Amino acid sequence: MTEKKSSQPSEATLFTYFNEVSIIAQLIIAQFERSLPDGLTNSQFSVLNWFSRVDSQASPGRLATAFQVTPGAMTNTLKKLESKGLVKIEPDELSGRKKKVSITSRGEKLQKQALNAAAPLFQEIAKNCPLENIEIQVPQLQRVREYLDRRRYN
């Protein structure tokens, strides 16, 4: 009698999967940050990149929620970006107390420059990890991210 294999991964497999993702994230962020221009940090780049991917403007609260950081931590990041001329923070005309943040043209340029500066790193990775394997994994990782993104509000 053959034993039917479960379609659900074991807890050990799930732990290993997320552990590997976490280690990969730490390693790539450290290497990516070394390639960033003008003293830009990964967290600062991530905010600039959010504007290019998601929306042209947002409140600091929306950004803090999106990045799952405290409002104070996001305010600190935004002030550093503003001091570099990469974002503009101004009062929200719909609410006297709230602020709105938008990326400046300099911020857009630096975001693109950062991606270009990281291109050699990504090319090196592609030489060592076949692109077709990565292409297969992207939709699977996106499904996990989308699920976790929805779940964070529960």
User: What pLDDT is recorded for position 47?
Assistant: 98
In CATH, the architecture of 36-123 is Orthogonal Bundle (1.10)
User: What pLDDT is recorded for position 5?
Assistant: 60
Strand order in the sheet with 87-91: 57-58, 99-103, 87-91
User: What pLDDT is recorded for position 101?
Assistant: 97
User: What pLDDT is recorded for position 4?
Assistant: 54
Query: Residue 92's CB: how many other CB atoms inside 10 A?
Result: 13
Smallest CA-to-CA distance from 59 within 47, 49, 42 is with: 47
User: What pLDDT is recorded for position 130?
Assistant: 86
Buried b (16+ CB within 10 A) or exposed e, 50-73: bbeeeeeebbbebbbebeeeeeee
Q: For the chain, which residues score pLDDT lower than 70?
A: 1-6
